[in-house]
Structure 1
Amino acid sequence: MGTTTTQLAATAFDSFFLQNGEFGGEHFRNHVELVVDTLADVLQDVDRPLEGKTVQDIQQELNGILDLSEEPQALHEVLREIKGPVIKNSLHVSHERSMAHLHCPPVLPGVLAELIIGALNQSMDSWDQSPAATYVEEALSRYWCGRIGFSVRGDGVFTSGGTQSNYMGMLLARDAFCRSKWEHIVQRDGLPESFKKMRVLCSEEAHFSVKKSVSQLGLGEKAVVPVPVLDDHRMDLDEVRRMVEQLEQDGLLPYAVVSTCGTTDYGSIDPLEGLADFCEEKGLWLHVDAAYGAGLLLSEKHNGKLAGIDRADSVTLDFHKWLFQPISSGMFAVKDRKHLRLLSHHADYLNPVEDEEEGIVNLVNKSIQTTRRFDALKVLLTLKVLGTRLLGSMVDRTMEVSSFAAEELGRREAFRVENPSPELSAVVFQYQPEGSLDVSDLNRKIQQKLFNEGTAVIAKTSVRGETYLKFTLLNPRTTEEDVLAVIDEIENTAKQILGGTPH
């Protein structure tokens, strides 16, 4: 009997998919080894965070590989093509002198879990698409709720990161308020007539996603009331009380407060206990954005800085910041799981009512996403392989180095440190030499020159309208010697820009 056209087509497709059996395993192993060998070749030659090329250079190198063909190309050929233009030209976040953003070096268990996640390709919306993965995520959600200090009523769901989690917090706060205030169901009836009076308070240094979320939820940006911060960049609790009372006198409806636990620039933590007391007194929803600060949940030395987080109504956690996970891996947690029902919509093909009656868990009931990755597996492997004590010590180590950086910068005459006692692992500072007319422009050029040369990757930010520099130290392998070397590079680079002679 001859080979059919269908059989020939299937055979042609085989080499591009995971397959069962001995051949399938060997086929997969060969492909993975090609990728590992390519990465290993690059990693062994990495001696700085960046190759040090201009925007134009990188664009030019990429032009040669972005032409797409109708015909297949061997994997080893494609890897050879992208090795330089893509892989080598990437930011090497695991390098000790990559210290710019909230962009952590991933631990190996997380990286390896990514391979398993991609190969299994579970979809976390319904149990029948992710039978084991559903219960892994459920268990890890309970674990982190316990770490926060929530009771058994707490619950959570994995998200793409802080922006999505903050969005969910603002969504639930809005809908819970409308139900309790007017018995109005936003899901069914849309926004109530008085929605223009609703207000959310947050620090003037809160993450932009708070304002963005409230805007997208139909209340408009003016519904977000920014609260001034004190000199330590923490939200002024007295101002919160005064502003809420003023809003109420004006006939407006404050309904939620967002407390930031680790601001993007300074790592500052708003006064959690005081805000929790006030929100309980006034009946306000308290959302804690701990996308950055959640790393302290595992810290043995600094865990006390999170006192009061257990009293929040909802919490944002980001594991791809200070739990050393590959992007993306975040979580949204609530004190009382009943509020997650505000997200639920039934679809017979995903989460029929009968499933719920039979106790079948369909995680789409807890998320604003439908298809979701099995990101919980990265966290599971990391917790099991490293253990919580070692992970906590990694967090504590980055805080030691950030304190050292602030002290060292403070000792050098030409630097001004904006947060000399870092709350977490971020240090904001400016190089201020005598006689320089435009210090802001100088600092911007310092950051750009270091980046373009690949010497060190640091960030820039705005403080009172001026450009400042920033270390965000998330790599526990970064040492005091690395910090000293980068500070020296900043000084030498500044002198080059100003026309001096580097020492």
Structure 2
Amino acid sequence: MSTPPLASGPEGPGALRPLLDTVLGALREGAEARGGPLPAGGPEEVARRVRDAVGDVLPRQGSEDALHILVRALAEGAADPAHPLCVAHLHCPPLAVAVAADLAASALNPSLDSWDQAPAASELEALVTRALAREAGAADALVTTGGTESNQLALLLAREAHGGVRLVHGANAHHSLPRAAWLLGLPDPVVVPAPAGTMDPVALCEALTELHGPLLVAATAGTTDAGLIDPLPEIADLCATHGARLHIDAAYGGGLLLSDRHRGKLDGLDRADTVTLDLHKLGWQPVAAGLLTVRDEHDLTALAHRADYLNADDDTEAGLPDLLGRSPRTTRRPDILKIAVTLKTLGRDGIGALVDQVCAHADEFAELIAAHPRFELYDRPVISTVLFRPAEATDDAIAAVRRTLLHEGRAVLGRATLDGRRWLKATLLNPHTRPGDLAELLKLVEGHTPR
């Protein structure tokens, strides 16, 4: 058996080209076989089809058609975020140019744990992270796997900067924040009420007045359930008055920074000590594309670490950049490449236009719901999430409608519980969505709701 070709080196492009044709063909066939936003049949049927396609996971002899078979099976069984009726989660359809850049990153395979593994990638990361940090009013930024890692790092940096810290967050906060406090051995967080879906500043003031010791307040700019934004200027004022550190989880809403029309919704973001950003949400990047910005670069000294084979003192003194302090991870992909290519290709105006489009689609969908006599709208969207429910339907009936649409492969809707009631959730992240798609989604829900 001949030695299989490599993806990089002089022969890499030639070896990849026919394989790309295979992948693209399998993606097309799988999407055609699926025929909708989700495979029909539910978990058992999807699992059966995958098992049939895989067969023996580790056969004695390999098969040349494995790439085609498995990619096709994955595409047929995928939830397609590019389908206009796949709107359950903060799971964006990636831009083609970003995916192409990600291919280059995979082929070159630099690892950002030492300069000699990633000479150009390390400099590119430094340039792009600092530019994005400036957009958020910060000094620097670290690349992460997403909002969960960013939030955990924010708590870690706060703990190390103050010799311990207690987290204060709204009842609307992402689950990764209290989980990070647990992972880091911090005291149980103080949860501030969010009766209208956003943190109550009066309740926050009362909590900060009563609490003692170093405190970290975590606000949210784009809640997972409804896309709501906490009153950031008021929260920043309270943190300044009480000497508390401020972290803002803008994993969802951070993309608004690149829209001239919507940027003002993030007023106060630049007053945070740390900010979570996540460009595989409102940034149209393949997973993963997270960032954590820091206002004070000295906070990053907490991540300093020595491993002689990666950043020996004499190498650092000789001018080789030290990358270990840029992440708690060791091996890291150059996820910055796809981000850099996207920023350079589309520019601020191009990305801002995409943000404006999906926000406009959410407004259109909300208007459609508000005008329909058989539906109830939770509220006007702040970003691109719309909550709605069939009027007079029970919570159990609403949950059943969602699951039926999933089982049939017709639509992928999310769910949220607010005001003590269950809502269907549409998170619109596809700039190619058309008004007719939104009307079809509403018609599907109406047709599956018991009268």
TM-score, normalised to structure 1, is 0.86
Deviates more, 1:60-69 or 1:447-456: 60-69
* Alignment CA distance shift 1:199-1:27 (3 Å): closer
Task: Choose the corresponding residue for 2:198, options 220, 234, 244.
Answer: 234
Task: Choose the corresponding residue for 1:461, options 411, 416, 420.
Answer: 416
1:314-348 alpha-carbon deviations (Å, 9 max, x no partner): 11110100100001111111001110001111111
Task: Choose the corresponding residue for 1:303, options 226, 238, 263.
Answer: 263
Paired residues of 1:247 and 1:254 also in contact (CA < 8 A): no
Task: Choose the corresponding residue for 2:175, options 197, 208, 213.
Answer: 208
Q: Which runs of structure 2 are paired with 1:313-392 in the superposition (5 Å)? A: 313-392=273-352
Q: 1:104 Cα deviation (Å)? A: 0.3
Q: Which amino acid aligns with 1:12?
A: S
Task: Choose the corresponding residue for 2:248, options 264, 269, 288.
Answer: 288
Q: Distance in 2 between matches of 1:286 and 1:402?
A: 30
Residue 2 of structure 2 is matched in structure 1 by 12
User: Does 2:39 match 1:68?
Assistant: no
Residue 412 of structure 1 is matched in structure 2 by 372
Q: What 5-or-longer segments of structure 2 have no aligned partner?
A: none
Q: Which runs of structure 2 are paired with 1:214-253 in the superposition (5 Å)? A: 214-220=181-187, 222=188, 224-231=189-196, 233-248=197-212, 253=213
State the SS of the aligned residue for 2:168.
Answer: strand
Paired residues of 1:266 and 1:426 also in contact (CA < 8 A): yes
Q: 1:83 Cα deviation (Å)? A: 4.9
* Alignment CA distance shift 1:137-1:83 (3 Å): closer
User: Does 2:359 match 1:399?
Assistant: yes
User: Does 2:27 match 1:26?
Assistant: no
Q: Distance in 2 between matches of 1:85 and 1:30?
A: 19
* Corresponding pairs, count: 450
Residue 192 of structure 1 is matched in structure 2 by none
Q: 1:247 Cα deviation (Å)? A: 2.0
Q: 1:66 Cα deviation (Å)? A: 4.1
Residue 184 of structure 1 is matched in structure 2 by none
Q: Distance in 1 between matches of 2:382 and 2:12?
A: 51
Paired residues of 2:87 and 2:413 also in contact (CA < 8 A): yes
User: Does 2:438 match 1:448?
Assistant: no
User: Does 2:411 match 1:421?
Assistant: no
Q: Which amino acid aligns with 2:193?
A: P
Q: Distance in 1 between matches of 2:295 and 2:249?
A: 14
* Alignment CA distance shift 1:25-1:415 (3 Å): closer
Task: Choose the corresponding residue for 1:99, options 87, 90, 100.
Answer: 87
Q: Which amino acid aligns with 2:426?
A: F
* Alignment CA distance shift 1:486-1:279 (3 Å): same
* Alignment CA distance shift 1:465-1:16 (3 Å): farther
Paired residues of 2:222 and 2:252 also in contact (CA < 8 A): yes
Q: Distance in 2 between matches of 1:70 and 1:448?
A: 37
User: Does 2:82 match 1:122?
Assistant: no
Q: Distance in 1 between matches of 2:308 and 2:147?
A: 30
Q: Report the structure number with the largest CA radius of gyration.
A: 1
Q: Which amino acid aligns with 1:275?
A: I
* Alignment CA distance shift 1:60-1:40 (3 Å): closer
Q: Distance in 2 between matches of 1:24 and 1:304?
A: 46
Q: Distance in 2 between matches of 1:42 and 1:149?
A: 44
Q: 1:24 Cα deviation (Å)? A: 4.7
Q: Which amino acid aligns with 2:270?
A: D
Q: Which amino acid aligns with 1:408?
A: L
1:101-121 alpha-carbon deviations (Å, 9 max, x no partner): 000000001111121111111
Residue 138 of structure 1 is matched in structure 2 by 126
Q: Distance in 1 between matches of 2:425 and 2:12?
A: 49
Residue 218 of structure 2 is matched in structure 1 by 258
Residue 156 of structure 1 is matched in structure 2 by 141
Q: Distance in 2 between matches of 1:407 and 1:425?
A: 13
Q: 1:45 Cα deviation (Å)? A: 6.3
Q: Distance in 2 between matches of 1:58 and 1:117?
A: 31
State the SS of the aligned residue for 1:168.
Answer: helix
1:257-301 alpha-carbon deviations (Å, 9 max, x no partner): 001010001111111111112212222111111100011011121
Q: Distance in 2 between matches of 1:303 and 1:19?
A: 41
RMSD: 1.8
Q: Distance in 1 between matches of 2:70 and 2:172?
A: 40
Q: 1:230 Cα deviation (Å)? A: 4.0
Q: Distance in 2 between matches of 1:350 and 1:374?
A: 17
Residue 430 of structure 1 is matched in structure 2 by 389
Deviates more, 1:63-72 or 1:101-110: 63-72
Residue 183 of structure 1 is matched in structure 2 by none
State the SS of the aligned residue for 1:12.
Answer: coil
* Alignment CA distance shift 1:176-1:114 (3 Å): same
Q: 1:238 Cα deviation (Å)? A: 1.3
* Alignment CA distance shift 1:19-1:127 (3 Å): closer
Q: 1:47 Cα deviation (Å)? A: 4.4
* Alignment CA distance shift 1:240-1:359 (3 Å): farther
Q: Distance in 2 between matches of 1:421 and 1:176?
A: 40
Paired residues of 1:117 and 1:375 also in contact (CA < 8 A): yes
State the SS of the aligned residue for 2:172.
Answer: coil
Q: Distance in 1 between matches of 2:271 and 2:316?
A: 29
Q: 1:416 Cα deviation (Å)? A: 2.3
1:337-376 alpha-carbon deviations (Å, 9 max, x no partner): 1100011111111122334434432222121111111000
Q: Distance in 2 between matches of 1:479 and 1:340?
A: 44
Deviates more, 1:316-325 or 1:236-245: 236-245
* Alignment CA distance shift 1:137-1:20 (3 Å): closer
* Alignment CA distance shift 1:448-1:317 (3 Å): same
Residue 4 of structure 1 is matched in structure 2 by none
